[in-house]
Amino acid sequence: MVEEISDQILKEDFDAVVIGGGNGGLIAAAQLAIEGAKVVLCEQHNLLGGFATSFVRGRFEFEGTLHELCDYGPKSNKGAIRKLFEEDLGLNIEFVEIPEAFRLIINDPNEKLDVLVPFGREEYITMMEREVPGSEESIRNYILLSEEITNAISYITESEGNPEKDILIANYKNFLKTAPYTLDEVNDALKIPKKAQNILDAYWCYIGIPTSRANFTFYAAMHYYFLIRKAYVPKYRSHGYTAALESLIREKGGKILYNTKVNKVIVKDRQVIGVETNQGDKIKTNHVISNASPTLVYNNLIFPKNEVPKQALKTMNARRHAISCFVVYLGLNASAEELGIENYSYHIYDTTNTEEIYESFKTLNPPKAQATICLNKVNPDCSPPGTCILTITAFFLPEAWKDVSSEDYFNLKNKIARHLINTFEFATKTSIREHIEEIEIATPQTLARYTGTFGGSAYGYETDPWDSFMPRLMEMNNEKYIKGLEFCGGFSANCQSYTNALLSGQIAAFLTLQELNETGDSE
């Protein structure tokens, strides 16, 4: 029997409650507030943002996790995120452009590679032909296919998930043909030379599974957005835009409850009727948008337990939590120029075999891949004059750290950090160790404690072809197991990444507004 929602500390009803102030939750709350809905956002910490945050150590302010946004774009070619911030939400947030895609370094003695990868369609093709003579035709075909895929996704999005079959077949037949296949399968079908594939696939660590499993559609869209719109980062770290979103929510009449964790999503007859928080608040609402994962919500938050449909548990348990991150934050007492750090972004791999690298994520041995950025190369004023910030990110699967004892924890994380620093120095022929003024190390355990995700998973669920963007989009209505409950963030149908998490918040808000309008619940 469901307890009644009464004796509230907050003596108000709300059109919607948003659980968690991560990327998706913030956008959802902001969009609802702009549309006049009465919304309250419950955040477990005293700071919004989740993974989108920053912190200070000594003289340095470190970006929490963001490396770059792929669908922001210049004013002349606005991407979805720029349109979201500027046109839909009316925010003026300063972003800086990243000059080149990345520097790819392969340390394998048998397949050594060191190449600077540019943005821009023709620039990219020229680089590929220079590095891999004879690859131009296959790379052009790859880019044309990627363009068709992004156009198809835009059409499906604009049709609100109900595209006309005849239009898809007539205009986007190659999108339909490639949708079930992996990155490796499509690359091979296009006859892309192996060395060119190694360069083409370098963003795979942003997907987090081997190219033999990564869904081609999802990867190709991400890669294409980087190519045509370049990459951007917020000038004042991701905390800059999360603070702007906080102000917007309050300005538009929304409420934010800090240090408030939702303990229960109360359901009756498969319909949300309220939430209960760790502060004792019992809030009446028929609509909840959760930035917390479906796994967490269906396993731990739905009350009473018998309101959880068995199919919901089966669906969530069939999915695998994706990789977590191991991050070494370095504040260096010399400038990037003095240290010989030439680029913003580095992808450094021990091998071109992505399955071998992925397997290394399962162990506590030093990972065979790192994605490293020097923030000063795009934002010179991000640290005091004569200093720079270097952030080294490596990856582990969540379960790798579950049995680490407290006695071994600090020695282990320091050992891995030393290895990652050594690898960066060896690959780039720099010497940074003696210039470390500040160092902070975040492990999957750190991220798990801060965000509450399983094992600190930062990438949501793994995106195999059977469970990537398109299958999840097609199943959204079938996976709506409880009326009034929507999801946003990295675990939503949009899949992982800052870009997709932000967009998912707007989608969840629009779906909630649609229901509010249908029922006439909104004031």
Per-residue pLDDT tens over the stretch 11-42: 679 999 999 999 999 999 999 999 999 999 99
Cα dist. 127→70, 101, 221 in Å? 20, 12, 20
- The residues, any chain, with a CB within 8 Å of residue 163's CB and separated by 6 or more, are 155, 156
Q: At residue 465, what is the residue type?
A: P
Alpha-carbon span 486 to 145, nearest angstrom: 32
pLDDT at 1: 44
pLDDT band of residue 469 (cuts 50, 70, 90) is confident
Task: List pLDDT tens digits, range 235-251.
Answer: 999 999 999 999 999 99
Contact 121, 228 (CB under 8 A): yes
More confident residue, 1 or 136: 136
Alpha-carbon span 318 to 238, nearest angstrom: 32
Alpha-carbon span 300 to 199, nearest angstrom: 42
Smallest CA-to-CA distance from 183 within 149, 148, 218, 154 is with 218
> Sign of torsion, CA 147 149 150 154?
positive
Domains of the chain listed by start with CATH number: 16-46+258-320+461-519 (3.50.50.60), 58-69+95-117+323-458 (3.90.660), 120-229 (no CATH)
Smallest CA-to-CA distance from 269 within 304, 298, 321 is with 304
Alpha-carbon span 497 to 52, nearest angstrom: 11
**Mean pLDDT within 424-438:** 97
Mode of pairing for the β-strands spanning 388-396 and 369-374:
antiparallel
Question: Strands, E, within 166-244: which ranges?
Answer: 231-234
Q: Is the pLDDT of residue 291 over 80?
A: yes
Q: Which two tokens mark 245?
A: 């979103």
Mean pLDDT of the chain: 93
Q: Which two tokens mark 276?
A: 């209960």
The CA angle 47-50-54, to the nearest 5 degrees, is 70
pLDDT at 157: 76
3-state secondary structure of 285: coil
Contact 101, 347 (CB under 8 A): no
Phi-psi region of 36 (alpha: psi -120 to 50; beta: other; left: phi over 0): left
pLDDT at 523: 52
Q: Is the pLDDT of residue 521 over 70?
A: no
Contact 504, 492 (CB under 8 A): yes
Q: Is the pLDDT of residue 360 over 80?
A: yes
**Mean pLDDT within 135-154:** 95
Task: List pLDDT tens digits, range 188-199.
Answer: 999 999 999 999
Partners of residue 483 on adjacent β-strands: 271
Backbone torsions φ then ψ of 61, nearest 5 degrees: -105, 115
* Burial class for 292, CB neighbours closer than 10 Å (0-12, 13-18, 19+): buried
pLDDT band of residue 295 (cuts 50, 70, 90) is very high
Q: Is the pLDDT of residue 352 over 50?
A: yes
Partners of residue 327 on adjacent β-strands: 393, 442
The percent of residues in the chain predicted with pLDDT above 70, rounded, is 97
Contact 275, 17 (CB under 8 A): yes
Q: Is the pLDDT of residue 2 over 60?
A: no
Q: Which two tokens mark 21?
A: 């102030």
- The residues, any chain, with a CB within 8 Å of residue 77's CB and separated by 6 or more, are 228, 229
* Burial class for 288, CB neighbours closer than 10 Å (0-12, 13-18, 19+): buried
Tokens 């004023």 belong to 381
pLDDT at 6: 46
Phi-psi region of 340 (alpha: psi -120 to 50; beta: other; left: phi over 0): left
**Mean pLDDT within 345-369:** 96
pLDDT at 7: 47
Smallest CA-to-CA distance from 368 within 390, 345, 391, 396 is with 396
Q: Is the pLDDT of residue 10 over 50?
A: yes
3-state secondary structure of 412: helix
pLDDT band of residue 9 (cuts 50, 70, 90) is low
Task: List pLDDT tens digits, range 50-68.
Answer: 999 999 999 999 999 999 9
The CA angle 372-375-381, to the nearest 5 degrees, is 165
The one-character DSSP state at 456 is G
3-state secondary structure of 295: helix
Contact 242, 55 (CB under 8 A): no
Smallest CA-to-CA distance from 451 within 318, 261, 283 is with 261
Cα dist. 327→12, 218, 394, 417, 497 in Å? 42, 25, 6, 8, 17
